[in-house]
Structure 1
Amino acid sequence: MLENFNALTDGLPPALIYLLIAFLVFAEAALFFGFVFPGETAIIVGGILASQNKLSLTLLLIIALVAAVVGDSVGYEIGRKYGPRLLGTKAMRKHKSKVAKAQDLIRRRGPLAVFIGRFTALLRALMPALVGSSKMPYPKFLLFNFIGGVVWVVTFTLGGFFAGEAFERFAKEASRGLTIAVAVVIVVAVIVWSVRKHRREHAEDEDVADESAEAPELTGS
């Protein structure tokens, strides 16, 4: 029953696990932590733990949703107050292609961009601040932020939960050695998928940045 995964969490009290998940989800947009670690990984892992009765699924969904909405609201407020200065920061300049895409999405889709951005790691980190700097009214932002948060939290948390339950059924019919091997594969696959998707988004930004840096040299030749 995900023995290796359990070993990593057995010593942690549920309250600490809830707090860690809440922090990672909150910090994704509020502190731009999404540049480093996608929050969806945290709630997928939380869902797996809930399938093992280590966490309450209902409480996990509530905590993750509140953390997502509050974190995005903090990001929105940062963008509203610091707008132009925020765009000049190193983090924003490094991801200027994503910033440009997000700004274009906001212009074309308005508040719907808040919902759409929820499902891409870097856009999830950038969107609240960019929407705030665009002076979109907060009530409109909050509505679409809440709807997107509900869909995002439920989708990824239940994804982890049902994956964990499916593994439980498999574990009852498989040998202990095979169970451990599959457990390792499941956990590693989830983490690798999330990290690779994140790195791919970073690589796209770096390619655009390199092309932009080379453009003046080509013009001057």
Structure 2
Amino acid sequence: MDNLLHLAAMALNIDRFLGAFILEYGAWVYPALFLIVFCETGLVVFPFLPGDSLLFVGGAFCATGALTLPALIMLLLVAAALGNTVNYQIGRMIGPKVFESNWRFLDRAALTKTHDFYQRHGGKTIVLARFIPVVRTFAPFVAGVGEMGFARFQFFNAAGALAWILSLVFAGYFFGNLPFIRRYLNLIVLVGISAAVVPLLIGTGWRLLMRRS
């Protein structure tokens, strides 16, 4: 429980955490950011790690000169694409039986929700899911379980990684250091998470209600 509270505090105060890390460890921040993005996209047990806010704040620190923009972008692109590929391969290895077993380390509700989303929207889910917390962690896994073709998966994987990394890092680079943005960054992060998660919760609740009626 304490670890989850610490991670939640980190996600909502990522600017302070990242700034302190850069001051203390310097260039070690690059492999740390790589690892966070890789784990969030590549391992289904880490959907709670900061993703969008981390990219945005990373771009803001590039604007101050604390981080190098090309190096950060290339590193995060590799982490995001590689993470999805590992997640996909795990899904291929486990197969459809994942929906029949009750494994503690899997969030069954999130897995089912992502599977339904994937069934409706097909390959473009891999791109769209990049911008939806939790769903982006499960989407490549579900693609692997559903035996989506590897070449087709990699096409959408690369497109999604480019769209996600470039849009958020450049948004942070150009707007992250504006006084208004820095002052209300925590609120912006909460609004962003809510905007992505709340519609999914409402949709799930509506489907459950319709099944009971």
TM-score grouping bracket, smaller chain normalisation: 0.7 to 0.9
TM-score relative to the length of structure 1 = 0.74
Distance change >3 Å, CA 112–CA 154, structure 1 → 2 = same
Q: Distance in 2 between matches of 1:197 and 1:35?
A: 17
Report how far residue 143 of structure 1 moved: 1.7
Deviation by residue 1:31-71 (Cα, 9 ceiling, x = unmatched): 12563134122111110111111100000000110000000
The CA RMSD over aligned residues, in Å, is 2.9
Deviation by residue 1:194-218 (Cα, 9 ceiling, x = unmatched): 4434552664476368648x83xx7
Report how far residue 136 of structure 1 moved: 1.8
Aligned residue in 2 for 1:49: 61
Query: Unaligned regions of 5+ residues in structure 1, if any?
Result: 168-178
AA partner of residue 189 (structure 1): L
Aligned residue in 1 for 2:94: 82
Report how far residue 124 of structure 1 moved: 1.2
Deviation by residue 1:88-138 (Cα, 9 ceiling, x = unmatched): 4453422223321222322xxxx3332232222233112111111121221
Aligned residue in 1 for 2:117: 101
User: Does the 8 A contact of 2:81 with 2:158 survive in 1?
Assistant: yes
TM-score relative to the length of structure 2 = 0.76
Aligned residue in 2 for 1:176: none
Q: Distance in 2 between matches of 1:206 and 1:35?
A: 18
Higher relative contact order (CA 8 A, sep 6+): 1
Which among 136, 147, 151 is matched to residue 135 of structure 1? 147
Q: Secondary structure at the match of 2:67?
A: coil
User: Does the 8 A contact of 1:76 with 1:128 survive in 2?
Assistant: yes
Which among 165, 188, 191 is matched to residue 193 of structure 1? 191
Query: Unaligned regions of 5+ residues in structure 2, if any?
Result: 1-14
- Give the number of aligned pairs: 194
User: Does the 8 A contact of 1:38 with 1:194 survive in 2?
Assistant: no
Which among 26, 31, 40 is matched to residue 14 of structure 1? 26
Report how far residue 18 of structure 1 moved: 1.7
Report how far residue 14 of structure 1 moved: 3.3
Q: Which entry has the higher C-alpha Rg, 1 or 2?
A: 1
Aligned residue in 1 for 2:71: 59
Distance change >3 Å, CA 186–CA 12, structure 1 → 2 = farther
Aligned residue in 2 for 1:28: 40
